[in-house]
Amino acid sequence: MIFAVLIPLIIACFIPLLSKLKEKIHTGIFVLFVPLSIFLYFVQFLGRDFNPIRHTYNWIPSLGINFDFYLDGLSLLFALLISGIGALVVLYSIFYLSKQERLGSFYVYLLMFMTAMLGVVLSDNIFVLYTFWELTSISSFLLIGYWHFKERSRYGALKSMLITIFGGLSMFGGFILLWVVTGTTSIQEMINQVDVILDSSYLPLILGFILLGAFTKSAQFPFHIWLPDAMEAPTPVSAYLHSATMVKAGLFLIARFSSIFSGSEWFFIVVSLVGIITLCWGSYMAVRQTDLKAILAFSTISQLGMIMAMLGFGTTAAVFAAIFHILNHATFKGSLFMVAGIIDHETGTRDIRKLGGLITFLPITATLALFGTFSMAAVPLPFLNGFYSKELFFDATLHLDSTTFLAQAIPYLAVFGSIFTFVYSMYFFFGVFTGPKQLDKLPKKPHEAPIGMLLSPIVLVAGVILIGLFPNIVNAPFLLHAAQAVNPEVEFHKVAFWHGFNTPLKMSLIVIAIGIILFVTRKKWSKVYTILPGKLSLNKVYDQIVEKLDVISGAITRSYMTGSLKNYMSIILATTLIVSFVFMFITNGFTLEYDYLADVTILEVSVVIIMIIAAVATIFTNHNIAAILVLGVVGYGVAILFVVYRAPDIALTQFVIETVTVALFLLCFYHLPKLRKSTDSAGTKMTNLFISVGFGALMTMVAISAHSSNWFESISDYFVETSYKLGGGHNIVNVILVDMRGLDTLFEIAVLGIAALAIIGLIKLKKDKGAQ
C-alpha cells in the first residue's frame, strides 16, 4: 500500500525529464498511467466483505511516528475518488493545457498532491496524517499560483495557504493533546479509548482545535473565503482539488473522528450549525456571482456545508446520506467544473453576462451541463443521483437525536438553502445555454470542444446517470462499508426512488416550486444583496488582518533589528542571563561543597587581588598605553597562577603569548584612535553594568556548582595511565595534545594559519579602486 501512496511522488521525480519531450508527446499522457494504476489497485478491494487492512512501515518508532496505512471502507471511498477523479482530470488536462504551458511543473505539483491526499486518507498515524495534510495545502498553493504572472493567482494562492495552514496548525495542536491524553498516535487505538478522551479536561480544546482544522480545509463559514479565490487555478485543478478531493479532507477528518467526538453534545451543535450556515450562505451567495467558476465555488462551499451538517447529525441515516453525497457531489460537480472549463476554453470568457444561447454551438457540452445542474438541483427524476442524496438529507433533518431549538430549525434551514441551490443550478444552465446569443461579446467564435476534452465529463455524467438509475449497485459493496467505518451502527437499507408521498418529497417539491418562482423573478429581488451582505465583507476582514499583521510584525522586527551590534549583544546576553538564572533557580542547580577545596595561601590571594584591580582598571583607563599595561598585568597574573597550580607547560605558553600580544597591541595602538571617555548616558551605563555583573555572577556560580557536584567520573585518570603506554611520552599534557587529540591540534594550527593569512590580507591588500 505504501507503494500506491508514494508512486505519484516517485514518478514526479521523472516528470522534469519527460516534460522535455512535450513537443512530441504531451506530458499528461505519461502521468495518466499513475492515477489509473492506483485506481485499479484499489478497485480490487471493492465489493469484498473485507476487514480493515493495516500495513506498518517504521519511520520514527521511538516517537511512535510510523507509516501506518489503514484501509477501511471510508479510506477506500476516498482513495477511489482521488485516483478515479485524478485519472479523469489528468485526461482532461491533456486537452486543456497547451504545450506552451509549463507542463513539467504542473504535473509535478499535481502528482505531489496525489501522494499527499492519498496519505491523508490512508494514514492511521495522526502525525503522519498531519504531515500529508500540510503537503496538500502546499501543493494546493503551488497549483493555485500556477499562472503566477497573474496578480489574482498569487493573491488566491497566498490566501488559501494562510487559511488552511492556520487551520492545519491548530489541528496539529489538537492532535498533540489527543496524544497526550491517550498516549497513542494511532487513530484506531484512540477510538478504543473514547471514554478516556471524553472524560479528559482537554476535550473542549481538542474538539475546538481539530474542528478548526476541518472547517478551514473544507471551506466552512466563515473560512470559506479562500475557495472562490482559489478558482484562479487552472480548471482541472479546480475540478480536482477544490471540488472533489482536497476540500473534502475536512469532511474526512470529521468522519474519521466522529466515532470519538459524537459522544460530546458540542460536536452535534457546532458541526451541524456551521454546516447548515455554510449550506445556506454558500447557496445564497452563489446566485449573485457572474463568473461561472465562482458560481461553482460557492456551490461547492454550500454542498460541503450540507455534508458537514449531516456528519454533525451523526444519526445512521445522516451518516449514510453524507457518504452517498460525497460520491454524488464528486460526479456532478466534477463534470460541471469541466463544463465550465470547456466554455472558457471555447468562448474565451467565463462571464455569464456575456454568455447565452450556446446550446446550438456546444450541444454535447450543454447536454452534460443539463445532467450536472439538474442533479445538483436535486430535480426528482429517477436518473439523477443528486436527488437521492438530497432526499436522504431531508429525511435525516427530520429525524435528529436532539430536541434542541437548533434541531427543530434545521429542516427549515435545509429547505431554505436548497431553494437557492435550485436557483443557482438553473441560473448556471439557462444563463449559459439558452437565452439571446451575444456572439459579439465573446472573444472567440464558439464551437464544440474536441472529443478528448469531452471524454472526462462524459464519464462523470455517465456516473451520475448510472448511480441515479441503479443506486444500489454502489450501495452494498461500497457506501455501506464507508458509512460503517464512520458509525458502526449503520445497517444496509435499500435506496429507492419512490417512498410514497412523504415529508421529504414534499420538501423537495416546495424547493422546486419556490425555486422556479425565484429563478424567474431573480432580477426583481437581486437588490437584496445590497442589504445582505451589503458592505459586510469577510474578504475585507481577511485583508485587514493580513495587512495589520504585516505592519505589526514589521514594526516589531525593526524595533530590535537596529543594526547596532552592541544592542544585539545586550539582547543575547540578557536573554542568556535570565534563562540561565531562572533555570538554575527552578532546578535548584546551585551547589556548594567545601570538602575538597585547596588551601588558601597569601601568594595566590595577592596575585588574584592584583588581577582584579587590573581587570577593573581596563574599564576606567582612558589612555592607550595604560590600557595595554593593565591588560598585560592580567595576562601575566594568569601565567603566575598557572605556575602555582602545577601547570608548567601552559605557564610557559602564556608568558610567551602574553608578551607577543602586548607587543602587537602596542604596534596597533600606535595607529588606532585614542581611547575616549565613555559618552553613554547613565541609563545605558547601568544596563551595561547590570548585564556584565550579572554575567560574571552567573559564571562564578556555574564554576562553583560544576566544581562542587560530582556527577560523573573524571576521565583524566585514563590519560595518566595510558600516556606512556599508548603515547610513549612522559609529559601527559603533550601526549594529549599531539597524540590523543592530534587531529584537534592539527586543525588548531590550521586556524592559526588562516588567521595569519587574514591578517596579511587585511594589512597588505588595498581596496580595488575600480570596483565598487
- Subset of residues 539 to 598 that bind other proteins, contact rule: CB under 8 A: 562-566, 569-570, 573, 596-598
Subset of 478-507 contacting other proteins (CB under 8 A): none
Q: Indicate the residue among 565 and 586 with the shorter CB distance to other proteins.
A: 565
Prior bond of 363 cis (ω within 30°): no
* Shortest Å distance, C-beta 543 to other proteins: 25
Please give the distance of CA 274 from its chain centroid, rounded to a whole number: 22
Quote the cell numbers at residue 45: 478491494
* Helix or strand holding residue 321 (H, E): helix 316-347
Map grid coordinates 592584583 to a residue: 610
List 189, 199, 547, 649, residue binding other proteins (CB under 8 A): 649
List 13, 196, 660, 726, residue binding other proteins (CB under 8 A): 660
- Of 119, 44, 164, 85, nearest to 329 by C-alpha is 85
How many residues touch other proteins under the rule CB under 8 A: the total is: 97
Please give the distance of CA 332 from its chain centroid, rounded to a whole number: 29
* Shortest Å distance, C-beta 578 to other proteins: 15
Q: Which stretch binds other proteins (CB under 8 A): 300-308, 335-343, 539-547, 637-645?
A: 637-645
Neighbours of 362 (CB within 10 A): 23
* Shortest Å distance, C-beta 646 to other proteins: 4
Q: Indicate the residue among 517 and 605 with the shorter CB distance to other proteins.
A: 605
d(CA 703, CA 340): 74
Q: Does 650 bind other proteins (CB under 8 A)?
A: yes
Q: Does 763 bind other proteins (CB under 8 A)?
A: yes
Q: Indicate the residue among 265 and 744 with the shorter CB distance to other proteins.
A: 744
Quote the Cα angle for 170-172-173, to 5°: 65
Q: Indicate the residue among 398 and 626 with the shorter CB distance to other proteins.
A: 626
Q: Which stretch binds other proteins (CB under 8 A): 5-13, 140-148, 518-526, 745-753?
A: 745-753
d(CA 152, CA 546): 16
Q: Indicate the residue among 33 and 620 with the shorter CB distance to other proteins.
A: 620
* Shortest Å distance, C-beta 295 to other proteins: 45
Q: Does 661 bind other proteins (CB under 8 A)?
A: yes
Q: Does 615 bind other proteins (CB under 8 A)?
A: yes
Q: Indicate the residue among 138 and 638 with the shorter CB distance to other proteins.
A: 638
Q: Indicate the residue among 565 and 771 with the shorter CB distance to other proteins.
A: 565
* C-alpha distances in Å from residue 521, one per residue of 292, 427, 517, 527: 20, 12, 6, 12
List 18, 65, 439, 733, residue binding other proteins (CB under 8 A): 733
List 537, 601, 606, 709, residue binding other proteins (CB under 8 A): 601
* Shortest Å distance, C-beta 625 to other proteins: 12
Q: Does 640 bind other proteins (CB under 8 A)?
A: no
Q: Indicate the residue among 19 and 654 with the shorter CB distance to other proteins.
A: 654
Residue type (1 letter), 219? A
* Shortest Å distance, C-beta 708 to other proteins: 9
* Helix or strand holding residue 491 (H, E): none
List 720, 769, 770, 771, residue binding other proteins (CB under 8 A): 720
Q: Does 600 bind other proteins (CB under 8 A)?
A: yes
Q: Does 706 bind other proteins (CB under 8 A)?
A: yes
Identify the three-state secondary structure at position 58: strand
Angle between helices 203-217 and 249-261 (to 10 degrees): 160
Bridge partners (DSSP) listed for residue 257: none
Q: Does 616 bind other proteins (CB under 8 A)?
A: yes
* Shortest Å distance, C-beta 737 to other proteins: 5
Identify the three-state secondary structure at position 253: helix
- Of 146, 166, 165, 145, nearest to 156 by C-alpha is 145
Q: Indicate the residue among 586 and 765 with the shorter CB distance to other proteins.
A: 765
Subset of 265-294 contacting other proteins (CB under 8 A): none
b/e burial code for range 609-636 (CB count within 10 A of at least 16 → b): eebeebeebbeebeebeebbbbbbbbbb
Q: Indicate the residue among 363 and 696 with the shorter CB distance to other proteins.
A: 696
Q: Which stretch binds other proteins (CB under 8 A): 21-29, 171-179, 214-222, 731-739?
A: 731-739
d(CA 171, CA 441): 47
* Helix or strand holding residue 385 (H, E): helix 385-398
* Shortest Å distance, C-beta 702 to other proteins: 8
* Helix or strand holding residue 622 (H, E): none
- Of 275, 299, 272, nearest to 285 by C-alpha is 299
Q: Which stretch binds other proteins (CB under 8 A): 279-287, 329-337, 520-528, 662-670?
A: 662-670
Q: Indicate the residue among 465 and 702 with the shorter CB distance to other proteins.
A: 702
* Shortest Å distance, C-beta 711 to other proteins: 13
* Shortest Å distance, C-beta 575 to other proteins: 14
List 195, 730, 768, 770, residue binding other proteins (CB under 8 A): 730
Q: Indicate the residue among 402 and 722 with the shorter CB distance to other proteins.
A: 722
Binding mask 67-86 for other proteins (x = CB under 8 A): --------------------
User: CB of 422 within 8 A of CB of 515?
Assistant: yes
List 644, 686, 726, 746, residue binding other proteins (CB under 8 A): 644
Question: Who contacts 371 (Cβ-Cβ below 8 Å, separation ≥6)?
Answer: 332, 335, 384, 461, 464, 465
Question: Cα-flanking dihedrals φ and ψ of residue 70, to 5°?
Answer: -135, 115
Q: Does 612 bind other proteins (CB under 8 A)?
A: yes
Subset of 104-123 contacting other proteins (CB under 8 A): none
Question: Who contacts 327 (Cβ-Cβ below 8 Å, separation ≥6)?
Answer: 77, 81, 385, 467, 474, 478, 479
Subset of 674-703 contacting other proteins (CB under 8 A): 675-676, 678-680, 688-689, 691-693, 695-701, 703
Map grid coordinates 561543597 to a residue: 593
Quote the cell numbers at residue 81: 475518488
Bridge partners (DSSP) listed for residue 71: 53
Bridge partners (DSSP) listed for residue 53: 71
Q: Does 599 bind other proteins (CB under 8 A)?
A: yes
Q: Does 645 bind other proteins (CB under 8 A)?
A: yes
Q: Indicate the residue among 131 and 661 with the shorter CB distance to other proteins.
A: 661
User: CB of 334 within 8 A of CB of 426?
Assistant: no
Half-sphere exposure of 752 (CA within 13 A, CB side): 6
Q: What is the 3-state secondary structure (H, E, C) of 556-618?
A: HHHHHCCCCHHHHHHHHHHHHHHHHHHHHHHCCCCCCCCCCCCCCCHHHHHHHHHHHHHHHHH
Q: Indicate the residue among 192 and 564 with the shorter CB distance to other proteins.
A: 564
Map grid coordinates 522534469 to a residue: 16
Map grid coordinates 426512488 to a residue: 497
Q: Indicate the residue among 531 and 600 with the shorter CB distance to other proteins.
A: 600
User: CB of 292 within 8 A of CB of 340?
Assistant: yes
Q: Which stretch binds other proteins (CB under 8 A): 66-74, 127-135, 372-380, 669-677?
A: 669-677
List 98, 360, 502, 716, residue binding other proteins (CB under 8 A): 716
Q: Does 657 bind other proteins (CB under 8 A)?
A: yes
User: CB of 98 within 8 A of CB of 245?
Assistant: no
DSSP code, position 287: T
* Shortest Å distance, C-beta 682 to other proteins: 15
Q: Does 673 bind other proteins (CB under 8 A)?
A: yes
Q: Indicate the residue among 334 and 635 with the shorter CB distance to other proteins.
A: 635
Q: Indicate the residue among 17 and 743 with the shorter CB distance to other proteins.
A: 743
Q: Which stretch binds other proteins (CB under 8 A): 95-103, 113-121, 238-246, 716-724?
A: 716-724
